[in-house]
Amino acid sequence: MRAGQPLRYDDVVRVRALTKTYPPVKGRRGAPGAPEVRATDQVTLDVRQGEIFGLLGPNGAGKSTLVRQLTGLLRPDSGSVEILGHDIVRHPERAARILAYLGQESSALDELTVALAAETTGRLRGLEARAARAERDAVLDELGLAPLAGRPLKKLSGGQRR
């Protein structure tokens, strides 16, 4: 590899035997409890550079649990997650530096304007204020959201928010 060229990884994401089981929950005052749930069961997958990957399945299939494990937000019971060569199970804090994740739920940024939410995200990811503003402007232009920069994030459609 020549100097100045970016590192290349054949496997951007490499997951091996990922398993997460939620323990049973006892019911209160005679109410029935919830049984143990195996949310992910030996999940193995590779996502290579240039591929687009999606998770499909019914409610309760384990999609959110898998994504939370991939992003370092939830520790699996067993298995491994490697993203761009980083071991996310051993070093979950590295996920925040190399990934962006926006779940379906409402976020703390919803009350902010589109511009301020984008800038705040950059700051939370470690950018200095000037760099965060520059990245904000570039991202809003790239995504065609510059005309909406002054609107509250919560007023956008779901697709625009993401």
Domain residue limits at 127: 102-162
The single-letter code of the amino acid at 141 is D
In total, the chain counts a number of residues equal to 162
Nearest residue to 88 (alpha-carbon basis) of 29, 97, 127: 97
Residues 87 and 107 in one domain: no
Residues 41 and 62 in one domain: yes
Nearest residue to 20 (alpha-carbon basis) of 86, 94, 73, 56: 73
pLDDT number for residue 52: 87
| SS3 (DSSP) at 16 | strand
Q: What is the CATH number of the domain that holds 3?
A: 3.40.50.300
pLDDT in tens, 41-94: 999 999 998 888 888 988 889 998 999 999 998 999 999 999 999 999 999 989
Residue 40: strand pairing partners: 20
Backbone angles phi, psi at 158, to 5 degrees: -55, -40
Per-residue DSSP letter, 51: -
- Choose one of 69, 101, 133: the last residue of a domain: 101
Structure-derived torsion over alpha carbons of residues 122, 124, 130, 131, reported in degrees to the nearest 10: -40
Q: What is the pTM of this model?
A: 0.63
pLDDT in tens, 4-38: 545 455 779 999 999 999 998 887 887 777 888 99
- Choose one of 101, 122, 149: the last residue of a domain: 101
For residues 7 and 74, give the distance between their C-alpha atoms in angstroms, rounded to a whole number. Answer: 28
For residues 156 and 100, give the distance between their C-alpha atoms in angstroms, rounded to a whole number. Answer: 19
